[in-house]
Amino acid sequence: MSIRFSFPTWIALSWAAAIILALVLNVPFGIPNQWVWERRLDTSFEPTWVLASIVVLLAACLLAYLTKGSLLSDSKKTAAILFALFVLAIFFRFFVSVLLPQSSRPVPAFWSLVIISPVATSFYDEGRNLEQQGLSEYLRHYHEQLQSKPFHAATHPPGLPMLFWFWRRVAMTPTMQKLVPLDEVSLKVIRKIYIRIAPPLRPNRVYPSDADLKASWWVAFFCFLCSIAAMLIWAWTAWQLKPNPAVVPLIATTPSTLWWQTTVDSIHLLFVTLTFTSAFFWMKRRKMLGAVLTGLWAGWALWLAFKNAVPLLCIALWLLWESAKKGNRLTLTQLFVSLLLVFSPYLFAWLLFGFQPLETFKAASAAHHAQAGAHARSYLPWVFVNFADFAMGLGGAWFGLLPICLWNWHKEQFRPSLTVATLLILTALDFSGMVRGEVTRIWMPFIPLLTFDAIKSLPQSQRDVTLMAFIQGSTAIALQIHFEFLRPF
C-alpha cells in the first residue's frame, strides 16, 4: 500500500533531508571567510533534555492529530484541547531553551551571561547607565553619546535600555533576588567568564555585582516570557483564520523563534506580533480601539529598534491594500490616530526630555554601517544565501506551505495578502544589500507576517499537517545541537 503525501509535506520532508545531509557533509551554513554559523565544538548534550523535547513535541503532534474531528461538537472540549496544546507547546519551547552542551552549563549561568555580556548584547549595561544618569539626562544627550556606546546599543533608539532599566529595577528587589536559581558556584563561573570576555582594560573598570548577575538572569527569563507570549498570541490569531489544533505545534516549532528565546530578539518578535494581531482585528471590525492598539504596539516596536520599521511597513502596506477594497475602507480619522501613536514615543521624548530623534537615527545608522560590516561582504552571493538562511529559520513546514499559498492567491485574483506584502518587502530588502548574513535571527519578526495567509493553505489531511510540525520541530532540535546560534562571547 502506497503512502501519499500532500505537496507541502513533500517539500517539508525534502527540506529537512537537505538540511540533515548538509550537516552530515559539513556544508558551511553561510559564506566562508565572510560569515557562517559556527558549529559547536562541544556536542555533549544531556540525553534527558533531548529526549524530553522530542517526547513533548510528539505528544503535541499526536494530540493535534487525534482531536481535530471533535472540535466542532463541544466548545468546552475545544477549549480544553487548546489549553493542553498550549501547555505542551510551552514545555517544548522551555526544553529547547535549556538544551545546552556540558561546557555551557549550568543553564541559569548561561542565561545570565547572554544578557550581561558586553559582547552578545550591551543593553543591560545601558540600563545601568540610565540608572546613573537619570532618565531626563540620558534621553537629552542620547544622540551625543551614541558614538561612544558599545556594540549593539550604538545602533538602537533608547527603548531597549529603558526596558532593561525597568526590568533590572524589578529584578534587584530582595524578593526577586532570593528566587534566582544561581548558587555561589554559578556566580563564580559567571565572574570568571565575564572577566575573560571583558578584560580589565582600565583600572577603574567596574564589574557587575552579584546582585546584577542575579538580576541579569531575571532579564533573560523575562525575554523568555516574551517569546512564549509571542507564540501564544500568534497561535491564537492563527486559530481565528484556521481552527485546526495543528496550528499550535506548527507555530511552536518555528525554528528561529526557538533559538533566541532568552534574548532581545524575542522582545522584537512580541511587539511586532502584537501589532499584527491588533491590525488583524482592526481590519476585521474597523473600530477605533483597533486603530489605537495597532498604533500603540507599533510605536513601542519602533521605539525598541529602528529595524522594526520594516516589518511594520509590511503591516501598513497590507492595511492600505485591504482598505482599498470597496466596503472595507478604514476611516481617515482611524488612520491618523494610529499613525500619530506610532510616532508618539519619539514625540513625547522630544517634548518632555529634549530627545533628538533625527540626530539619533543618523548616529545609529552610521554605527550600524560600521558595526554590521555588510558593506565588506560580497553582494550577489548573499542575495541567494540570505533566502536559504531565512528558510532554515522559517522551517520546512512553512517553507512547504508558501508555494501553495501563492498559488491560491493567484487563483483568487490577487486579493490583498499580508503574506504577499511581506514577501515583496523582504525581497526588496534582500536586493538592497543592507543585510548580508544572519537573517535567520534578524528577520525573525517577519515570520508571523509571512505565514499569515499560508495558514489557510494547510493540507486537508491532519496526518500531513502534524507530520510537518513534527519534522519542523525535530529539524530545529538537530540544528540547535549542531550550531552555536546563541553564545555570550
C-alpha dist (Å) from residue 137 to 124, 131, 145, 303, 356: 18, 10, 11, 18, 12
pLDDT computed for residue 203 by the predictor: 46
Alpha-carbon distance of 175 to 215, in angstroms, equals 11
C-alpha cell at 272: 511586532
What would the pLDDT profile of 444-455 be if each residue is shown by its tens digit? 999 999 999 999
Are 342 and 312 in contact, with CB atoms under 8 Å apart?
yes
Q: Using the predicted structure, report yes or no on whether residue 334 has a pLDDT greater than 60.
A: yes
Residue 465 exposed, middle or buried by CB count within 10 Å (0-12, 13-18, 19+): buried
Handedness of CA 210, 215, 221, 223 (dihedral sign): negative
Please state the pTM of the whole predicted model. 0.94
For the chain, give me the number of helices (H) and strands (E)? 25, 2
What would the pLDDT profile of 1-28 be if each residue is shown by its tens digit? 457 889 999 999 999 999 999 999 999 9
C-alpha dist (Å) from residue 268 to 231, 303, 304: 12, 10, 7
Lowest mean pLDDT among 104-118, 190-204, 221-235: 190-204
**For cell 510605536, what's the residue?**
299
**DSSP codes of every residue in 364-420:** HHHHHHHHH-GGGS-HHHHHHHHHHHHHHHH-HHHHHHHHHHHHHHHHTTS---HHH
Q: Using the predicted structure, report yes or no on whether residue 72 has a pLDDT greater than 60.
A: no
Q: Which of 108, 4, 97, 220 is nearest to 485 (CA)?
A: 97
Q: Using the predicted structure, report yes or no on whether residue 457 has a pLDDT greater than 50.
A: yes
Alpha-carbon distance of 96 to 104, in angstroms, equals 14
Mean pLDDT estimate for the chain? 91
**25 vs 374 pLDDT, higher one:** 25
Per the document, the length of the chain is 489
Alpha-carbon distance of 479 to 472, in angstroms, equals 11
